[in-house]
Structure 1
């Protein structure tokens, strides 16, 4: 059920009167659905003549680069992401990922692998509208060159070229090609063959291919990549294949690493929690508990200091009921 007009106005006034205090903002927005947040965004603009993004951006800038304010930055980032429509959010995430001093390729990979083709088209349009640039060109122009660029270009092509029908036969044929040009011969894998398959198949079709690979050869394709010497391309490919083969496990692992700070990746906690909150967070939490032996919200509470806006907000996202797929 969406918010009433008066409730929305009251909440916008509460947000405005908070003057950017994260605790108040988090309490006001944590349990709201994406539809509610869009209505709040519109109403706030009508009432005060400026966007909520400006308020949240000022909080991010205040805390950016300050280690003591890292959690505040993360919380402000999550709140800001919540205010975007899903395709606008992904466009912003992609832009910020590409602008980092060390490009966050994983954030962009998640967009191309975790969204339907119809959604990816909207993301590309939103990116060009917002930044007056094309996402594919920005990916291609990254310096120094990185194997992720080739993989991302292939995945971008796949959203334009693939067919919706999934074929077991094609999956088996592609699995055999991967074997014959990979572990089935000496030397490095044939990158051209891998990129060709990635560029012509949907994510659903690729999932069938990697499942067929395991059925035919008795082990996963990622395990074949771990054999012998391998370089950056194989490392990047392992991330892609892991996501396609088991996205819930991928997200659970990403959340765990972000919460435990074992591989610090600024924004990963906010990115995953917000993007999956109304999609498959329930399923991710079940995988998280099975893999790590604890509830996601308990892991968050153990790792993030109590009393802060970030912890309460992220816990609220973790407990938000999935409403759409």
Structure 2
């Protein structure tokens, strides 16, 4: 077992790195050494390991995965790699992988980034994306072919992060709610995409959340119900998922996790993505909502649905994280 790492900045992590180096190939040890630590500690371990041995732990994990070494799970390597990355670097990689996939489900990963991150963090993600891939994230979203229903919404959300901080105004939120009603369920036909995109472009995520709260207060039901009641198309379906992510993130992530764990969606990578990204922010709340919604603990669902092995051990270690 690895020596317990303290959060103190004075800790050198040299003993930990020595144990990791001497136990290469023993995945249970590596999982315990990394996933039981905080992401900040893992990044310090990565830095120390490279100073001591001249090798990057993430590169070693990726090489192990590509070589298909016996007992090495690509999913385990991917999860450990993401866990050690700085959050904005990790999000840049997740965004790139989503853009390379020809599937609407993968674009949900981009929605989670633009909805769940602060504007300052989005700026760092874009810098990391440009540095790693030599191209602009915004431009890659615009140029995605073939066009997909999330594309317009993602462009609008990206513009919102550029122009606004966490500005929230009750009066403006009520006005926006009324505009959404008048150009949606309050008028015949489909939702007016132009109005929705204009509001998404000009308002911050906290303001949009207040707008949808005002909508429910004024009209007696969630905005997502009004989307369902109109002639729903691909844009409306995408909009509904985005709004749910804005209004109730834990419930959104719980549904994504359940569907992915149970194999009910093509977005199989959602398990790793969500568990890694939310483990140090709202895992307690996700576990509470999961149990309330499905009547079973998240950990138990993982044990019942994921084959035993290193990957399941990683997921369980992440599920045991407390905020």
Superposition TM-score tier, normalisation by shorter sequence: over 0.9
CA distance in 1, matches of 2:9, 2:219: 57
Please, what is the CA RMSD of the aligned residues?
2.1
1:62 to 1:257, Cα distance in 2 relative to 1, 3 A: farther
Q: What is the Cα deviation at residue 170 of structure 1? A: 1.1
**Matched residue, 1:244:** 246
**1-structure distance, mates of 2:183, 2:272:** 39
Task: List per-residue Cα deviations over 1:188-230 (Å, max 9, x = no partner).
Answer: 1110100000011111110111111111111111111111422
* 5+ long unaligned stretches in structure 2: 1-5
Contact 2:261 2:305 in 1 (8 A): yes
Structure ranking higher on relative contact order (CA contacts 8 Å, 6+ apart): 1
Residue equivalent to 1:47: 52
CA distance in 2, matches of 1:228, 1:109: 23
In structure 2, the partner of 1:59 is 64
- Is the contact between residue 185 and residue 226 of structure 2 (CA under 8 Å) also seen in structure 1? yes
Residues 116 and 301 of structure 1: CA distance in aligned 2, closer, same or farther (over 3 Å): same
Is this contact kept in 1: 2:253–2:286, CA < 8 A?
yes
Kindly indicate whether the alpha-carbon contact (under 8 Å) linking 1:22 and 1:76 is maintained by their aligned counterparts in 2: no
The aligned counterpart of 1:25 is 30
* SS at structure 1 position matched to 2:73: helix
Q: How many residues are paired up?
A: 317
3-state SS of 2:7 partner: coil
Contact 2:142 2:151 (8 Å CA) reproduced? yes
After TM superposition, the structure 1 stretch with the greater mean CA deviation from structure 2, 94-103 or 121-130, is 94-103
- The residue that corresponds to 1:260 in the other structure is 262
SS in 2 for 1:300: helix
1:264-283 → structure 2 map (5 Å cutoff): 264-283=266-285
**Aligned equivalents of 2:166, 2:32: Cα separation in 1:** 42
Residue 318 of structure 1 corresponds to: 319
Is 1:142 the equivalent of 2:166? Answer: no
* Partner Cα distance (2:267, 2:26) in 1: 25
Give distance in 2, aligned partners of 1:180 and 1:171. Answer: 14
TM-score (norm 2): 0.92
The answer to whether the 8 Å contact 2:156/2:198 transfers is: yes
More displaced stretch, 290-299 vs 14-23: 14-23
SS at match of 1:106: helix
Q: Is the 8 A contact 1:124 1:135 kept in 2?
A: yes
Structure 1 match to 2:43: 38
Counterpart for residue 10 of structure 1: 15
Contact 1:98 1:139 (8 Å CA) reproduced: yes
| Alpha-carbon distance in structure 1 between the residues aligned to 2:253 and 2:68 | 26
Unaligned residue ranges in structure 1 (runs of 5+): none
Give the Cα–Cα distance (whole angstroms) in 1 for the partners of residues 266 and 138 of structure 2: 27
Q: Deviations over 1:132-183 (max 9, x none)?
A: 1110011111100112111101000111112433111111110110011111
Q: Determine the C-alpha separation between the residues in 2 that align with 1:192 and 1:298.
A: 44
Deviations 1:4-37 (A, max 9, x none): 8777223223333343453332122120101111
Structure 2 equivalent of residue 285 of structure 1: 287
Aligned to 2:77: 76
SS at match of 2:13: helix
Residue 177 (structure 1) aligned with residue 179 (structure 2): yes
Match of 2:223 in 1: 221
